[in-house]
Amino acid sequence: MLPYQEIFALATIRCRDKTFENIQAVLFDKDGTLANSESFLKSVGQKRSRLVDAKIPGVQEPLLMAFGLEGDQLNPAGLLAVASRRDAEIAAAAYIAETGRNWVEALEIAATAFAEADQYLKRKADHTPLFQGGLSLVESLAAANLKLGILSSDTTANVQDFIQKYGLAQIQLPMGTDAGLSKPDPLLFQQACSALEVLPAATLMIGDSQADAVMARAAGAGGCVGVTWGWSSLVHLMNVDVVVDRFEEIQVLSS
């Protein structure tokens, strides 16, 4: 069988003054990149911390800080914005364990609080709308015969629901972090590329966090584009090839 890059069409993508050549696929982060999730994540963090505090009084404020919430500000590089649900549960359990609870009990308390918060907040996709301009970019990339995927720290079920809710039928791969891996593990990126039948070197990552950039670089991605529109607080992005402020700054030049 021929290498992937000899089978599929290649495209050139320009982002501001940076050009990426020989691209076959684009992987998007979801929350903060395609989905406007800040308000929802604030509610999630506050609800989870209150529910844990109801069982273990006194841990609400430390938990909010651990989640990256201070007042009405959410840290775009913090736990809620970047980490997987499992990572957040473990972090919450660690604070519970500090109160003297054994580890198994701490994990159970955290898991129960997270599940109750899910029931209260219900369908995430209803509260995390697609950013304006996102659909147009997805359509333009699909028109260039690029393979498209979402690689998110969210669950795969939530990624699928988001795709369905906002009519992103062009997204061929919905991938969350259900199998135990979490960003910035490069194996996640490599698995996504394998599912799309493309090489990492021919795949562009578009995301809003340092975790996206570290993951993509370690996996040998064809490039990483950092985006700034996802959060009300300033986003500091390093290790990306280029930073863009609008979807329109990502353009397909040829295919």
The pTM score is: 0.91
- Given a cut of 50, whether residue 1 has pLDDT beyond it is no
Q: Which of 92, 126, 160 is the endpoint of a domain?
A: 126
Separation between Cα atoms, residue 77 and residue 85, nearest integer Å: 15
Tell me: do 195 and 153 sit in the same domain. yes
How many residues does the structure list for the chain? 255
Same domain for 138 and 20, yes or no, is yes
- State the pLDDT at residue 238: 87
Pairing of strands 173-175, 147-151: parallel
Same domain flag for 111 and 225: no
Give the residues across from 13 on adjacent strands. Answer: 20, 252
Pick the closest to residue 41 from 193, 233, 239, 244 (CA basis): 233
Q: What percent of the chain has pLDDT over 90?
A: 86
Question: Is the domain of 115 the same as that of 137?
Answer: no
pLDDT digits (tens, 9 = 90+) for 228-253: 999 998 888 988 999 999 999 999 99
Task: From 126, 148, 172, give the residue that closes a domain.
Answer: 126
User: What's the rounded mean pLDDT across residues 119-136?
Assistant: 93
Checking if the pLDDT of 180 tops 90, the result is: no
Number of domains the chain is built from = 2
Cβ atoms of 36 and 134 closer than 8 Å: no
Q: How is residue 97 written in tokens?
A: 């364990």
Number of C-beta neighbours around residue 42 at 10 A: 18
Both 137 and 197 in one domain: the answer is yes
Full domain range(s) for residue 159: 4-36+128-254
The bridge status of strand 11-15 relative to strand 18-23 is: antiparallel
pLDDT by residue (tens digit) across 21-63? 999 999 999 999 999 999 999 999 999 999 999 999 999 999 9
Statement to judge: residues 44 and 96 lie in one domain? yes
* Mean pLDDT along residues 69-89: 91
Expressed in percent and rounded to 5, the helix, strand and coil fractions of the chain are 45, 20, 35
Confidence at residue 219, expressed as pLDDT on a 0 to 100 scale: 98
Q: Residue 162 in contact with residue 40, Cβ under 8 Å?
A: no
What is the amino acid identity at position 25? A
Domain boundary among 126, 157, 188: 126
| SS3 state of residue 32 | coil
Mean pLDDT score across all residues of the chain: 93
The SS3 assignment for 145 reads: coil
Dihedral angle of Cα 244, 229, 205, 38, to the nearest 10 degrees: 170
Q: Is a pLDDT exceeding 90 seen at residue 185? A: yes
Alpha helices in the chain (DSSP H): 4-7, 38-55, 60-67, 79-82, 85-97, 103-121, 134-143, 156-165, 186-196, 210-219
For position 24, what pLDDT does the model report? 97
pLDDT of 122 reads 82
